[in-house]
Amino acid sequence: MPETPTTPKHIAIIMDGNGRWAKERGLPRREGHRAGAESVRECVEACKQLGIGYLTLYAFSSENWNRPAAEITALMALLERFLDQKADEMMKQDVRLQAIGHIERLPEKTRKKLRTAIERTANNKSLTLVLALSYGSREEITEAARSLVKDASEGRLTAADVTKELFASRLYTHDIPDPDLMIRTSGEMRVSNFLLWQISYAELVIFKKFWPDFGQSDLFEAVEEYSRRHRRFGGL
């Protein structure tokens, strides 16, 4: 039976509840997202302190494109500001930035800032911060299947060559280990099309509080909960 490591290598977070947080305060939804960006900073710091290697954040799902145009614009502007303002801090803290998702769908200006921050932080080693942007797991899995079928139809593959490992190598996360711990805020018990392949053995920890109220101590609590659980990987 594999030993349960006390600290996860990779934490993935579904940051939910920004809108409800804002509504409770009579504020526009974009204020909830703005406050949520502060929780992102806290979590990056907490992961650094704990020596966690990877933190993946569900910042914008493929379904989020169905939101009102004004909210999408506000989210992109927030992301751009985050990239502008946090690049120096990421360099200081040795944080490497990566992105997964259908990045080509993002506005050109956002993509450019993202590319710049990814390139600038590429050699940092302590923590890899992965932003899931325009991300949907079914789309990711479909694209992987499509690339395998293409290789097969052009004679580079046979059905027998298709293994779990080969399939995983065609996902956006091909160079990122699977998450050991997935956190969701705002009390919903759903995985919402996030990393469906990758969370096969992840522990789930749900918080009732909304994302803007989530801070360092909550992340520490989730890691403690993780270390108490016994991971069996389907074995005895």
What are the catalytic residues?
Answer: 16, 64
Give me the least distance between CB of 17 and ligand FPP, in Å please. Answer: 4
Residue selected from 16, 180, 203, 218 as contacting ligand FPP according to rule CB under 6 A: 16
Counting contacts by CB under 6 A, is residue 132 touching ligand FPP?
A: no
Chain residues 208-227 in contact with ligand FPP, contact rule CB under 6 A: 211
Residues touching ligand FPP, count (CB under 6 A): 18
Beta strands in the chain (DSSP E): 10-14, 54-61, 95-100, 127-135, 181-184, 203-206
| Cα distance between residue 189 and residue 205, in whole Å | 9
Residue selected from 8, 11, 12, 17 as contacting ligand FPP according to rule CB under 6 A: 17
Stretch that binds ligand FPP, among 10-18, 42-50, 138-146, 162-170 (CB under 6 A): 10-18
Chain residues 138-177 in contact with ligand FPP, contact rule CB under 6 A: none
Pairing, β 54-61 against β 181-184: unpaired
Q: In this structure, what DSSP letter does residue 63 have?
A: G
Counting contacts by CB under 6 A, is residue 18 touching ligand FPP?
A: yes
Our CB check for ligand FPP shows the closer of 93 and 147 to be 93
| List of residues 6+ apart from 37 with CB closer than 8 A | 78, 81, 82
Q: In this structure, what DSSP letter does residue 6 have?
A: S
Residue among 46, 65, 30 at smallest CA distance from 183: 46
Interaction site with ligand FPP (CB under 6 A): 15-20, 33, 36-37, 40, 57, 59, 64, 78-79, 82, 131, 211
